Amino acid sequence: MKDRTLLMIPGPIEFEPAVLAALGAPTTSHVAPDFIEAFGQALEKTRKVFLSDDGQPFVLAGSGTLAMDTAVANLIEPGDKALVVNTGFFSDRMALILERYGAQVTHVKAPVGGRPTIEEVAAALKKDRFKVMTITHVDTSTAVIADVKALAQLAQQYGALSIVDGVCSVAGEELRMSEWGVDVALTASQKAISVPPGLALVVAGPRAMQSFKARKTPVMSYYSDWANWLPIMEAYESRKPSYFGTPAVNLVFALNVSLDQILKEGLDARFKRHRALGAAVQAALKSLELDQVPTRAEFAAHTLSAPRYPQGITQADLLPKVQKAGVTLAGGLHPAIKAEYFRIGHMGPTNSGDVLATIGAIETALQQCNYAFTSGAGVAAAQTAYQETILRFL
């Protein structure tokens, strides 16, 4: 009998056996030839996964919050102005990090579940001169996706560096860093990158590196300082040993395996698969008449979904029953609506079978909560939407 549930939260996710095997292998030295080769390969593949031929990758031991901290610490000096395109909890966190490093922060906000319009962001950029503009590609608290392509172009137009928090998007949502003019993109290993938690991944483009090298004050975080890490990344990519801080050896081996799997699938194919997974979940939720946090269909991410509980049903009612039916989901996160919704992750190695099992478990739990709906409607809608979306993008 299976002794664990299917993990369908927005990170950590389910991981491929080959990735877990690499993680569980005997640990080697961080200057051993096999590790130097693996780390060098992982850095090269990171650049490819971010679609940034001219970017500088940094792979550090830490979480997604470290990736955010690293990007800000190296680009912001006290008194710099920053514009935050705010779509939820993690946009708020980015603002706190900016303020910690001395930035003067301006927000462009929308109601919870919405996103600022391009016109609103442009109007804010016209009013002042900002050094950076931050964009949360997919805010994990709201499942709202931002239009990174359009926003990055705006940042370039008004002379601001764009920092994209891609923690819940990179390797799942379409992100073309060099082509779209994104200056910094970042993520964490436990989301669509498909490696257990513990790695922060940052890629800095040429404009960001130029800005970093031109700073007039020291970086205020010793651990995050690119001046300490750049020689290390360059050495490993040149297949030479180097040391500043001990890397997470086994996680880097696992990362190299996962990045290889991502590139073998092909990024275009991977974006399409995530689009189909998202469409399947959206169709299922609609058929079950469950409202969602994103206020418009085009605001909904493809890597996770955020359905609201039906009237009269709470997290304590529903999620334990979903768990008993074999699937682990996440509760709400955004402080303003935390008790009103739950979250479904569908990224990385997730396939259509995982989505169908998840919708089936939700249906089972809803029936046990005496919620009225047509049994099997969600599963059928998910299956149809997935197949139609896959065919549409072939």
Query: Regarding beta strands 132-136 and 144-145, do their DSSP bridges make them parallel or antiparallel, or are they unpaired?
Result: unpaired
What whole-number distance in Å separates Cα of residue 379 and Cα of residue 362? 10
Mean pLDDT, all residues of the chain: 97
Give the CATH number of the domain where residue 43 resides.
Answer: 3.40.640.10
Q: Is residue 1 part of a domain?
A: no
CB 376 within 8 Å of CB 367: no
Residues 214 and 293 in one domain: no
Q: What is the domain extent for residue 99?
A: 17-265
Give the CATH number of the domain where residue 324 resides.
Answer: 3.90.1150.10
Residues 292 and 190 in one domain: no
Residues 210 and 292 in one domain: no
Residues 93 and 219 in one domain: yes
Note the pLDDT of residue 2: 61
- Residue 4, pLDDT > 90, answer no
Count of Cβ atoms closer than 10 Å to residue 304 Cβ = 31
* pLDDT (mean) for 116-137: 98
The model carries a pTM of 0.97
Note the pLDDT of residue 394: 58
Query: What confidence tens digit (pLDDT) does each residue in 305-324 have?
Result: 999 999 999 999 999 999 99
What whole-number distance in Å separates Cα of residue 345 and Cα of residue 305? 7
Residues 6 or more apart whose CB falls under 8 angstroms from that of 149 comprise 176, 180
Residues 139 and 256 in one domain: yes
Q: Is residue 234 part of a domain?
A: yes
Residue 47 C-alpha from the chain's centroid: 16
DSSP 56-125: EEEEEES-HHHHHHHHHHHH--TT-EEEEEE-SHHHHHHHHHHHHTT-EEEEEE-STT----HHHHHHHH
| pLDDT band of 390, cuts 50, 70, 90 | confident
The residue among 201, 234, 265 that closes a domain is 265
Residue 110's nearest CA partner among 82, 139, 133 is: 139
Residues 305 and 374 in one domain: yes
Residues 284 and 170 in one domain: no
The residue among 214, 243, 265 that closes a domain is 265
Residues 6 or more apart whose CB falls under 8 angstroms from that of 96 comprise none
List, edge to edge, every strand of the sheet that includes 330-331. Answer: 304-305, 342-345, 330-331
Note the pLDDT of residue 392: 80
Residues 259 and 272 in one domain: no
- Cα separation of the two ends of the chain: 38
Residues 211 and 335 in one domain: no
Query: What confidence tens digit (pLDDT) does each residue in 70-104 have?
Result: 999 999 999 999 999 999 999 999 999 999 999 99
Q: Is residue 211 part of a domain?
A: yes
* pLDDT (mean) for 36-58: 98
Which pair of tokens denotes residue 251? Answer: 């996680």
Q: Is residue 375 part of a domain?
A: yes
Note the pLDDT of residue 3: 74
What single-letter amino acid sits at 297? A
Q: Is residue 252 part of a domain?
A: yes
Residues 208 and 330 in one domain: no
What whole-number distance in Å separates Cα of residue 122 and Cα of residue 213? 28
pLDDT over 70 percentage in the chain: 99
State the Cα angle at 9 between 8 and 11, rounded to 5°: 120
Local structure of residue 204 (DSSP, 8 states): E
Q: Is residue 130 part of a domain?
A: yes
Q: Is residue 239 part of a domain?
A: yes
- Write 311-319 long-range contacts (CB < 8 A, 24+): 313/366, 313/369, 313/371, 314/339, 315/339, 315/342, 317/369, 318/342, 318/365, 318/366, 318/369, 319/365
Residues 261 and 289 in one domain: no
Which pair of tokens denotes residue 265? Answer: 């699938």
Query: What confidence tens digit (pLDDT) does each residue in 219-272 have?
Result: 999 999 999 999 999 999 999 999 999 999 999 999 999 999 999 999 999 999
* pLDDT (mean) for 139-163: 98
Residues 202 and 85 in one domain: yes
CB 180 within 8 Å of CB 51: no
What whole-number distance in Å separates Cα of residue 324 and Cα of residue 156? 50
The residue among 218, 248, 265 that closes a domain is 265
Note the pLDDT of residue 1: 40
Phi, psi dihedral angles at 321 (to 5 degrees):
-70, -35
Residue 204 C-alpha from the chain's centroid: 16
What single-letter amino acid sits at 296? R
- Residue 190, pLDDT > 50, answer yes
Between the alpha carbon of residue 282 and those of residues 21, 277, 303, 330, 381, the distances in Å are: 33, 9, 11, 17, 9
Domain count along the chain: 2
What whole-number distance in Å separates Cα of residue 231 and Cα of residue 293? 44
Q: Is residue 248 part of a domain?
A: yes
Note the pLDDT of residue 365: 98
Which pair of tokens denotes residue 358? Answer: 């998840």
Query: What confidence tens digit (pLDDT) does each residue in 55-64 have?
Result: 999 999 999 9
Helix pair angle (64-75, 89-100), 10° resolution? 40
CB 165 within 8 Å of CB 186: yes
